[in-house]
Structure 1
Amino acid sequence: MNKAIRIKCSQQLANYRKPTSFLIKESYPLPPYSTVIGMIHVACGFTEYHPMDISIQGKYHSAVSDMYTKYAFGIPYEEARHQDWVKNNDKKDGINIGIGYIELLSDIELVIHIKPENEADMEMIRQGVLFPQNYLSLGRHEDLLRIDEVKIVDLKQWDDDLPLEKYEAYIPRQYLNEFDLEDIGTMYKLNKTFYIDGQGLRRWDRKIQVSYTAVSKELEFDAAKEIVYIDEDNLPVFLA
């Protein structure tokens, strides 16, 4: 099956939070794989994981800083110390209410390709994104996602003579030779899938190392590694 579902979508504001940021909630430049996969599962009403490969590219206009209300809780309530409390069985947990800072990307344009492992999921995902069971968002719950196009497209091998679109993209390391991997873009290790451990906690079991960079003909893809595909409109596809 050499087809994929292409989603063109946009957001006015969004934060794709870096899990290691605390003083200010910094954002990845594009949504990570786990965030996109979660959105697809919510749209389709999937209650268990449906394996799929994802390609993510896009651009945004600017980044701004904003304030938000921050709640910290988890210790016993003390009237002189906490602004509020929540019931925890027969006890009270204290809540501290303050302000925090968050990085927001503005005027985001995204192109997402999805290639499900099971061919039968192809039409189900297309219909799920077109007619979702709940409103769609990427990032925070309030970061609404506008769907501009959902289309099943054919994939073919990239020809060096064809231009590549001037988007930024997550390019997994298996597509790049060692020179480009070290000298271009910003390296990230992005979450993709997780499992629930015996304590009911989420544990990430697959991470993808990528370079975030502009997609252009100056990139030298390693012919001995992954094939670079393009869709029928010559948009590159870097599946991971």
Structure 2
Amino acid sequence: MKALRIKLHQASANYRKEETAENKMTYPLPPISTITGALHSICGYREYHEMNVSIQGRFASMHREAYVDHCFLNSTMDDRGILVKMKSASMLSNAYTKVASAKKSQGNSFLKNITIQVHDEQLLNEYRQLRQEGNRIAEWKKTEYKNKLAEYKQKKSILALEKKEQEKGSEKFKQLAEEERKLKEEEKQYKINAERYEEEHYKKPIAKYRTLTKSLKYYEILDDIELVIHVQASDETLCDIYNHIDDLKALGRSEDFVDVEDIQFVNLEQDEESYRSCYSAYLNYGDVMNERINTGWYEDRDISGTKYYLGKKYDVSTGKRIFTEKVKVIYTSDFTIDETSENVWVDKEAETEDGQVYIVNFL
């Protein structure tokens, strides 16, 4: 079988697990979508091109790298964080202007000017006026607005009782029904005007103000990474990858730069000899369970390794990558095969440093 073998090296990288948010954990090897996504990107593909990949490699160590996480709260807090005004609250933009910062962990107040550092006096005054307007509206709704709605309710009850005393279809009944309709319409308009005023004079402008908090979080970082990637695809796709491989700059984060050490077209073979891998790898779950690949057995388990569900095929027609197929894999090391099979091949064209061939298992 014809394939493309790519040997890569990275000084460090984080292949982020999607489900981790607080502290960004990493996969031990780049997942399928990271590899195929990078290859699609360098080739300029806008639609998914069918390709199968084998991913194996190793890293020397892992450490944690601290970073400052910025988080916008859904509401403003008077006593903590950084008060900011968003440039455009209705759009997906993180642009903002700093208004004031709390100096202590507690006991601060932006409204009362207690232990804060002011960055923009004009915006801070605007924020305070809006909060005062919000308090005034809230008080008005508890008193005058509430009493007005109670008045409407009482008038509607009186009209309803008077209607019951009249014969349906009579002139008096029609007159009362018309009065009831007008009263309901007046009540509806009163509520609309109140909501509109609150929306325009408080809710919309105050929504531009947010509390920005900062916290110390961590990346898991792999060090001194060796990767061996085999790609199986159409001849045209393989040639595109080969011709554009120098455009591959990073894998993982944008700062996780990659060195392309070698790229070769190879012919994968099958035979009945046994082989042992000197790398860790993602292995096809079905091939492991069907004992086409041996991962080492323990008394209480059939296989040795960590199971992952990795995204493979995806759709980007909506402008967002949505996975349409995920595959189950086993991450393990020191695995062996007794012979090759339908989805298990060997690459003998470049022996490893240990004098071993590459075991290639497409995912």
Q: Give the TM interval when normalised to the shorter protein.
A: 0.7 to 0.9
User: Residue 88 of structure 1 corresponds to which residue in structure 2?
Assistant: 88
Structure 1 unpaired stretches of 5+: none
Identity of aligned residues (%): 33
> Could you say if the C-alpha distance between residues 46 and 80 of structure 1 is closer, same or farther in structure 2, counting changes exceeding 3 Å?
farther
Alpha-carbon separation, structure 2, partners of 1:51 and 1:93: 47
User: Which residue type is aligned with residue 193 of structure 1?
Assistant: K
| Structure 1 consecutive aligned stretches of length 4 or more whose deviation exceeds 6 Å | none
DSSP-derived class of the 1:176 partner: helix
User: Residue 104 of structure 1 corresponds to which residue in structure 2?
Assistant: 221
Report deviation, 1:168: 0.3
User: Residue 256 of structure 2 corresponds to which residue in structure 1?
Assistant: 143
Provide, for residues 104-157 of structure 1, a one-character-per-residue CA deviation record: whole Å limited to 9, x for no partner.
Answer: 0100000001111x321111110111x31xx52111111111110011111111
DSSP-derived class of the 2:362 partner: coil
Provide, for residues 78-120 of structure 1, a one-character-per-residue CA deviation record: whole Å limited to 9, x for no partner.
Answer: 676553454235663634333211110100000001111x321
Provide, for residues 50-71 of structure 1, a one-character-per-residue CA deviation record: whole Å limited to 9, x for no partner.
Answer: 1100100000011101101212
User: Residue 230 of structure 2 corresponds to which residue in structure 1?
Assistant: 113
Report deviation, 1:46: 1.6
> Could you say if the C-alpha distance between residues 80 and 202 of structure 1 is closer, same or farther in structure 2, counting changes exceeding 3 Å?
farther
Is residue 343–residue 362 contact of structure 2 (8 Å, CA) maintained in 1? no
User: Residue 167 of structure 1 corresponds to which residue in structure 2?
Assistant: 279
Provide, for residues 181-237 of structure 1, a one-character-per-residue CA deviation record: whole Å limited to 9, x for no partner.
Answer: 842111111111222586x654322111111111433x56795xx431011232111
Structure 2 unpaired stretches of 5+: 91-206, 296-301, 351-356
User: Which residue type is aligned with residue 304 of structure 2?
Assistant: I
Alpha-carbon separation, structure 1, partners of 2:59 and 2:65: 17
DSSP-derived class of the 1:70 partner: strand
- Out of 96-105 and 75-84, give the one that drifted further: 75-84
Alignment coverage as a number of residue pairs: 230
DSSP-derived class of the 1:21 partner: coil
Q: RMSD value over aligned CA atoms?
A: 2.6
Is residue 5–residue 263 contact of structure 2 (8 Å, CA) maintained in 1? yes
Alpha-carbon separation, structure 2, partners of 1:108 and 1:197: 34
User: Residue 127 of structure 1 corresponds to which residue in structure 2?
Assistant: 243
Alpha-carbon separation, structure 2, partners of 1:153 and 1:165: 18
User: Residue 35 of structure 2 corresponds to which residue in structure 1?
Assistant: 36
Is residue 272–residue 338 contact of structure 2 (8 Å, CA) maintained in 1? no
Return the TM-score normalized by structure 1.
0.84
| Rg larger for | 2
User: Residue 354 of structure 2 corresponds to which residue in structure 1?
Assistant: none
User: Which residue type is aligned with residue 165 of structure 1?
Assistant: S
1:176 and 2:288 are equivalent in the alignment: yes
DSSP-derived class of the 1:156 partner: coil
User: Which residue type is aligned with residue 258 of structure 2?
Assistant: L
Is residue 47–residue 315 contact of structure 2 (8 Å, CA) maintained in 1? no
Alpha-carbon separation, structure 2, partners of 1:214 and 1:44: 31
Alpha-carbon separation, structure 1, partners of 2:358 and 2:14: 25
